[in-house]
Amino acid sequence: MSLGPVMLDVVGTELTDDDIRRLKHPLVGGVILFKRNYENNAQLKALTASIHAVRQPPLLIAVDHEGGRVQRFREGFTKIPPMREFGKIWDKNPKKAKELAVEAGWILAAELRAHGVDFSFTPVLDMDYGDSLVIGDRAFHLNPQAISDLAFALMQGLKKGGMSAVGKHFPGHGFVVADSHVSMPVDEREFDQIAQHDMQPFRMLIDDGIQAIMPAHVIYPKVDSKPAGFSPRWLQKILRERLGFNGVIFSDDLSMEAATAGGDVTARALAALNAGCDMVLLCNQPAMADELLANLNWTISAQSLSRLARMHGHKHPLTMDALHESADFVRALHQVAQVGIVEGELFA
């Protein structure tokens, strides 16, 4: 059975009969994990193994594990600093900042891969305008070159750890104040202004070969009346054709408040897939997931399948024990632990 175009979550720390029923559905292609799915290292490894055993080829397993306040697994994992901390170092010493970003990407990827996770939805490529309620210190910087430098370095570290990168939130979520989880953000700027600023990190990372991108649940009315993730203009005309992106496009979560503009869950999924998404995410709504699986009529393209297949974790992952026996890995841990220490205080 090939991968389907829907990524769902699971309820707890081990698979239930309902989880397994959903994951066996031909429309499903992946699972996104959350904090509630993590108890300890051994349990997480068992959970991912059980998800991968449900079917062949195995479902993709993803997580939002960026660092800072967006890090789902904490106890037993290295604390990754918020990305803004690397931006602060870049201001003083760009070379050092890039070296540290590589190390952080390597740690992040190697530890997740050791537990059977295929990829993390990272890095954030949004510009840090200082006003966004949801982006904040998740962004590297306000300078597009700094964002590109640091995100590329992080991507190199992810690759070293056996993981693809996912740039978000195209074409840029940093300018708007509203949080798309709870409201519909609207960015009133002209296309040229967005293209000259917010889109630059995406353009540079696409040129550098980033494997996947997630669009923003933001409306840019000067370009299209639909949110970017539901807009053929943004995804096909601009992202695919103008910027030449040929990797995976993942929708943001269809259960977020900003996604409700798309209608009921089936209409939202169809709108996102028709706009150009290869895979749609639906999180934290089991009843809605059942509704979507019962009603969505979609045949995934060979091109989407080929793109998604590249998101499986690369390399045979090392165990946590093996990682901690590596002098290079231990040195990287010590380096990254120093990031964000100010006057003897560790980053929040």
Q: Which residues are catalytic?
A: 181, 252
Residue (of 44, 63, 163) closest to 106 by Cα position:
163
Task: Tell me whether residue 233 is annotated as binding.
Answer: no
Tell me if 112 sits within 8 A of 63, measured CB to CB.
Answer: yes
Crossing angle (nearest 10°) for helices 84-92 and 94-113: 150
Q: Which amino acid is it at 152?
A: F
Q: Is 160 annotated as a binding residue?
A: no
> Environment class of residue 12 by beta-carbon count within 10 Å: exposed (0-12), middle (13-18) or buried (19+)?
exposed
Tokens 């397993």, located at residue: 61
Which residues, including other chains, have CB under 8 Å from residue 16's CB and lie 6 or more apart? 10
Question: Do 30 and 67 contact (CB within 8 A), yes or no?
Answer: no
- Any binding-site annotation on 138? yes
Q: Are 254 and 262 in contact (CB under 8 A)?
A: yes
168 among annotated binding-site residues: yes
225 contacts: CB under 8 Å, gap ≥ 6? 219
Is 64 part of any known ligand binding site?
A: yes
Residues annotated within a binding site for substrate: 64, 72, 138, 168-169
